[in-house]
Every structure is written in C-alpha cells, then in structure tokens.
Chain A
Amino acid sequence: MFKVYGTELRSRLLLGTSRYPSPAILTDAVQASRAQVVTVSLRRESSGERAGQGFWSIIRELGVRVLPNTAGCHSVKEAVTTAHMAREVFGTPWIKLEVIGEDDTLQPDVFGLTEAARLLCAEGFEVFPYTTEDLVVAERLLAAGCRVLMPWGAPIGSGRGLNNLFGLKALRAHFPEVPLIIDAGLGVPSHAAQALELGFDAVLINTAVAQARDPVQMAAAFAQAVEAGAAARLAGPIEPRDLAAPSTPLIGTAFRG
C-alpha cells in the first residue's frame, strides 16, 4: 500500500492504455495487471469518427482511476491548456505532466516542467511530473507543490530498464518520504522488480505490456514482479559484497584437522 495525494493504492503497477492490438486486449491486460490507475490522453476528435467516445466508455467500465497525461506537449502553455482540458473531460485533478524537450529521447524539458508544475499546483491540480533523476530538478518540483515524482527509467518506449542506477538510487535516498514512481523505459518484469527492490513506490508501464507478443500474459507477469519487488524491499535485501561468504556453516566440517 502506498499513498499519492491522499489516495491509497494497493497495486504498485500503473498501466498505460496506448498501443494495444485491440480494445479487448487492452481490457484484459488492465484486468490481468491488477492496476488501479491507468493513464489516458486527449487527442483531436473528428465529429464523424468519434473514436474517443468508444475508448472512454471502455475505460469507465473498467472502474479504475485515470491519470490523464499531457503527452506531446512541448511548451508550458500547451501543457497547462491540455491539463485544463483533461481536468474537465476526465473529472480528476490528477495530471501526469509531460513537457517534452527533445524528440529523439523524449527527454523532459525540466525547465518548462517546473514552470508548468508551479502554475498547475497553484490552481489545485495534483501534478505527477514526468522528470529525470536530477536531484535539483526534483527539489524544484517539490517546491512547486508536487507531492509525487515520476522519474524516467530510460527513454519512453525504449525497454532498457533503469538506465542510471546511481542517479536513481541517489534520488530515492535523498527523498525518502516522497512517493517516487518510475515512469518510462522499462522493458521486462525484472526491471520493475528491481525498481521496487530499490525502494521506488511504483512503476508505470505501457509499451512493455502493449507491444509484447501476448500483452495480457505480460501484464500478469509485471503484476507478479511488482509484488515480488515490494515484498523483497520489506524483507530487507542483503548488501552485495566482493568476496564469497560460505552459506553452509564451517563448524564441524569433515576431513579438517
């Protein structure tokens, strides 16, 4: 159990809803993941197709919380306007704030991010900023009013896992009380387990599930990995060491002396 903006969540897996082979597979994957929060977005709606209306009814039927994002926004103005639109459509103060600064890596523009976060927090939004592992940026985001941080593991959709282990460990150690959710870049369940073992509160997965050969099975695998990682964290992992330490007691060893 962990808490974000006063909401207690049992599941430490948040799931994206994008890039699934079909709406039915999306529905089954969300259920298999046991996620209580899914991310959603806003896109241009043509009056003829009404694609968004069907999607929205699928999500509502799932009975999960939604975390709208500002994906694709490259400026503070775009992100803030999108956040307002999302709050009205989805009826939640939660917003996963993305301000993209660089197109090859989809790296957050942390300057625009902190500015947008400041504006939105002041208006009562509950901001989930998609950020890097940079400690100074994290400090600024918290000062802006954010009560949770979403550092990237690796570039969105890259499946590389926790790219900067040192930086992420430092972030965890530096802000022991702040809910930290690894967002983006995880590829396989062991990456998610690792994040939880290191003390991160949760992970947000999209591409690794949606683009797997069997998304539903992969969603279930991530659910197990996240539970295993969280349990391991509570159990207190041993410290790695350089030399062997025999696990079988040496006292009474035969043929000695």
Chain B
Amino acid sequence: MKILVNGAWRDTRAVDLAAALAELGYGETVVATALNGEFVPVSSRVGARLAEGDRLEVLAPMQGG
C-alpha cells in the first residue's frame, strides 16, 4: 500500500508503524513520529496500524532559534 512519509509517497508492506520505520531504514535513529497529525509515542509504535493513504511524519532534532 502507499503511505505519505514526510510528504512523499512510499510503498510499504508494513502493518504497523514500528515495522514501517524499520522498513524505511530509520533503524535506531532518534526520531519522533506522528500518524495523520496525531503524535505516536515510541511505546505505541508496535500495534499502530497503517492504512492506505496514511500520513506519517518522522521528525528528528534540528537546529532551531
């Protein structure tokens, strides 16, 4: 199925958010996630089911003012 990852369409076979992050290559990186605009904490990534057209945000620390 196709999901929108940080604004770009990606194909995934992952059933949940944890699997999608692994499949997309985020591995052990420090990131925070939001699914369809809602924050998903690390502890809830396993079992956070994905559906066609879902919008996933994967954010990491960045310079800020």
Contact = CB atoms under 8 A, between A and B. Distances in A.
B65 A17 contact: yes
B37 A77 contact: yes
A50 B34 CA distance: 18
B27 to A, nearest CB: 8
A81 interface: yes
A44 B59 contact: yes
A55 B38 contact: no
Complex A-B, nearest 3 residue pairs according to Cβ-Cβ distance, in ascending order = A41-B64, A52-B60, A16-B65
A204 B32 CA distance: 26
B10 to A, nearest CB: 10
A77 B25 CA distance: 28
A88 interface: yes
A44 B32 CA distance: 10
Nearest to B33: A85
B61 A18 contact: no
Interface in A1-36: 16-20, 26
10 contacts: A17-B63, A41-B61, A42-B32, A47-B25, A47-B58, A53-B30, A53-B61, A85-B32, A86-B32, A207-B65
B24 interface: yes
Interface of B: 6-7, 24-27, 29-34, 37-39, 41-42, 57-65
A188 interface: no
A55 B30 CA distance: 11
Contacts of A41: 61-65
B39 A47 contact: no
Given A44-B7, A45-B60, A77-B37, A89 B65 contact: no
Contacts of B63: 16-20, 26, 40-41, 55
A206 interface: yes
Contact of A89 (B26, B57, B60): B60
A71 B58 CA distance: 16
Interface string A69-88: 10100000100011011101
Given A17-B64, A53-B30, A42 B24 contact: no
Nearest to B61: A56
B29 A40 contact: no
A185 B27 CA distance: 39
A215 interface: no
Contact of A43 (B24, B33, B42, B59): B59
B30 A18 contact: no
